[in-house]
């Protein structure tokens, strides 16, 4: 995992969490700001996925969790954003917020495993 | 208008939280079973069971038809019982739970979300079910 990218990614995902929950709170539907931010986070997640997959053989433990998190991570935002585009309600925005928060937490966890076992 | 689909409206938030928890529980349980099952088989089996139940609840709630809602309700109930029983046991017999699982210590490792979530889930699913019975009897 690329440490700097992890840091940027976590910051961006947390920003997305706040923005999306703000949208939900003020009942605004999904727009370019949220979509752009989500696209940036997703791009970072995919870069980490590629880097992470390449590094799996050299991990000395926790391979299963690492792989499971790594592979599911790109789906989290993809699914929540997709649902917000189809269903333009505040509730769908709130689920993007929850998804983005999960991305931040899981990315941190991945980095932690990487640092411990890499 | 009362919401009659468990995966729409505020239910979307529950589906999202359930999905995340299903993911977290599945990840942790894969790790525990693959890498050190012998350390605490009971705790790890329960952990895997919790993961499966979260998946069932997520899918049931997201589908939202009558029988799916019923299945999701059942899953939420099992979950509530599970988190209460396992939570109590993990304080009474700590040696059986050397590592944190989703349900041990009433879900404290996950910010007590596993304790609160089934209560919200049961409340929401019952609301939806009541809503849909009223709609169908009115029609």
Whether B49 is covered by a domain: the verdict is yes
- Residue A100: the pLDDT is 96
Which alpha helices (DSSP H) does B10-138 contain, by range?
A: 11-36, 41-63, 66-92, 113-138
Whether B6 is covered by a domain: the verdict is no
Q: What residues in chain A have per-residue pLDDT under 50?
A: none
Cα→Cα distances A112→A6, A10, A72, B31, B77, Å:
10, 13, 17, 15, 34
Whether B107 is covered by a domain: the verdict is yes
Identify the closest residue of chain A to B17 by CA–CA distance: A98
Whether B2 is covered by a domain: the verdict is no
Grade residue B44 by pLDDT with cuts at 50, 70 and 90.
confident
Number of domains in chain B: 1
Q: Which residues of B touch A65 (CB under 8 A)?
A: 27-28, 30-31
Kindly report the CA angle at B15 between A29 and A53, in degrees rounded to 5? Answer: 95
Provide mean pLDDT across the span B14-19.
91
Alpha-carbon gap: A50 to the closest alpha carbon of chain B (Å): 19
- Residue B10: the pLDDT is 87
Identify the closest residue of chain A to B8 by CA–CA distance: A91
Do the beta carbons of residue A93 and residue B22 sit within 8 Å? no
Whether B4 is covered by a domain: the verdict is no
Q: Which residues of B touch A98 (CB under 8 A)?
A: 13, 16-17, 20
* Binary contact (A68, B26; C-beta < 8 A): yes
* Residue from the list B12, B16, B27 with its beta carbon closest to the beta carbon of A69: B27
- Residue B46: the pLDDT is 84
Whether B45 is covered by a domain: the verdict is yes
Interface size between A and B, measured as CB pairs under 8 A:
51
Whether B69 is covered by a domain: the verdict is yes
Domain carrying residue B55: 11-129
Kindly report the CA angle at B114 between A76 and B103, in degrees rounded to 5? Answer: 115
- Residue B137: the pLDDT is 56
- Residue B136: the pLDDT is 58
Predicted ipTM? 0.74
Pick from A19-23, B6-10, B63-67, B127-131 the range whose average pLDDT is largest: A19-23
- Residue B139: the pLDDT is 45
Q: Which residues of B touch A112 (CB under 8 A)?
A: none
Identify the closest residue of chain B to A104 by CA–CA distance: B20
Q: Which residues of B touch A68 (CB under 8 A)?
A: 26-27, 30-31
Q: Which residues of A touch B31 (CB under 8 A)?
A: 62, 64-65, 68
Query: Tokens 């928060």 belong to which residue?
Result: A101
- Residue B133 confidence (pLDDT) above 80: no
Q: Please tell me the distance from the alpha carbon of residue A97 to that of residue B16, in angstroms, as a whole number.
A: 9
* Binary contact (B16, A99; C-beta < 8 A): yes
Give tens-digit pLDDT for B72-121: 999 999 999 999 998 998 899 888 777 777 888 898 888 888 899 999 99
Whether B23 is covered by a domain: the verdict is yes
């Amino acid at each position: 995992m690329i440490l700097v990218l992890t840091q940027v990614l976590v910051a961006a995902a947390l920003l997305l969490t706040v923005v999306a929950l703000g949208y939900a709170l003020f009942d605004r539907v999904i727009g370019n700001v949220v979509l752009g931010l989500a696209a940036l986070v997703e791009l970072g997640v995919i870069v980490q996925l590629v880097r992470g997959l390449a590094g799996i053989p050299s991990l000395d433990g926790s391979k299963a969790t690492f792989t499971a998190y790594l592979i599911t991570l790109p789906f989290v935002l993809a699914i929540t954003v997709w649902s917000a585009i189809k269903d333009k309600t505040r509730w769908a925005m709130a689920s993007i917020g929850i998804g983005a928060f999960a991305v931040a937490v899981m990315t941190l966890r991945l980095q932690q495993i990487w640092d411990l076992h890499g | 208008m009362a919401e009659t689909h468990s995966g729409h409206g505020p239910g979307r938030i529950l589906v999202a939280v359930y999905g995340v928890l299903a993911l977290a529980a599945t990840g942790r349980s894969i790790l525990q079973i693959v890498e050190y099952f012998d350390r605490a088989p009971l705790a790890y089996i329960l952990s895997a069971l919790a993961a499966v139940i979260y998946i069932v609840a997520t899918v049931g709630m997201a589908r939202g038809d009558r029988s799916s809602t019923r299945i999701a309700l059942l899953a939420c109930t099992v979950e509530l019982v599970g988190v209460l029983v396992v939570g109590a046991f993990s304080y009474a017999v700590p040696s059986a739970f050397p590592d944190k699982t989703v349900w041990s210590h009433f879900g404290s490792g996950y910010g007590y979300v596993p304790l609160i979530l089934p209560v919200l889930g049961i409340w929401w699913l019952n609301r939806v079910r009541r809503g849909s019975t009223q709609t169908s009897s009115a029609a």
